[in-house]
Amino acid sequence: MKGPAPRGVPPYWARAKRQLAERDPVMKSLIRRHPGVALVGRGEAFSTLARSIVGQQISVKAADRIWVRFIEAVGEVTPPGVLKAGERNLAGAGLSRRKVEYLLDLARHVESRKLRPAAWAAMDDDAVIAELTRVRGIGRWTAEMFLIFTLLRPDVLPVDDLGLLRAAGIHYLEGRVPAKAELLELARPWQPWRTVATWYLWRSLDPVPVEY
C-alpha cells in the first residue's frame, strides 16, 4: 500500500472482508462472528516504537505504569526528548538497562536519519522491516506489528506470532499448530489481505482488539 496511512479504519477493510469471505468459509464465519469492529490505526511512529520497547517481556499493566513514568522523564516523546533525558533519568522511570540502551539507540537512529519515518509510506513492507530491525531491540515481529497497527499495511503475515499460529491450528488443522512454512501455504488464498485474515484469527482467541 503506497501513500500515507490513514487514521481510523483502513480504506481497504470492507473490500478485504468481502473477498476473504468469498474465498474461505472459515474466514466467512470469523468475519460474521465479529461485526462492527475493525483494525484501527493509531500512534505516531516514534512514540509507537518507543512504547513497543517499553512493553517488551512485561505485563500490560506494568508496561502502562512504566510508560507514564517514561513520559514524565522525557517530557515529550520525541528523539530529542529521549536523548536529553539520558540514561539516568530513563533508568529512574523503571526501565531496565537494556531497554534504556534500546530507547537511546532508537532516538539516535531517528535523529541521524538512519530511520526515515517520513519515507516509510512509499517503501514496501520488506524495506521498512529491514530499516526498523537495524535498531537494537526491534526484531521482525515488532516491525510487523508496526506495519499492521501504525502503517496499516494490508498483507502482513507475522509467521512468528504465537496467537496467529494457535488460531490457525484451531480453525484449519484440528488444533495442531502449523509450522511456519505450513502457515504460509495456508495463507495463500488470503493474499493480498493477510493482515485482515490475521486480525480476525486474533479475534477468535480474544474478541477485544489489542493495539500495539
Domain boundaries, the chain: 13-40+155-205, 45-149
Active site residues: 161
- Please determine, for residue 187, whether its predicted confidence score (pLDDT) is greater than 50: yes
Distances (CA, A) of 39 to 13, 20, 89, 120: 8, 15, 35, 20
Count each helix (H run) and each strand (E run) in the chain, helices first.
11, 0
Give the C-alpha separation, 50 to 105, whole Å: 10
Question: Is 50 exceeded by the pLDDT of residue 2?
Answer: no
CATH for 13-40+155-205 is 1.10.1670.40
Query: What span, in angstroms and rounded, lies between the C-alpha atoms of 70 and 74?
Result: 6
Q: Report whether 103 contacts 53 (CB < 8 A).
A: yes
Decide: helix, strand or coil at residue 2: coil
- Across the chain, what does the average pLDDT equal? 91
For 27-80, what is each residue's pLDDT tens digit? Answer: 999 999 999 889 988 778 999 899 889 988 888 788 889 999 999 999 989 999
Domains 13-40+155-205 and 45-149 share a fold: no
Q: Say whether pLDDT at 4 is over 90.
A: no
pTM for the model = 0.84
Indicate whether 14 pLDDT > 60. Answer: yes
How confident is the model at residue 7, as a pLDDT? 52
Please, which residues have CB within 8 angstroms of residue 61's CB and are 6 or more apart in sequence? Answer: none
CATH topology of domain 45-149: Endonuclease III; domain 1 (1.10.340)
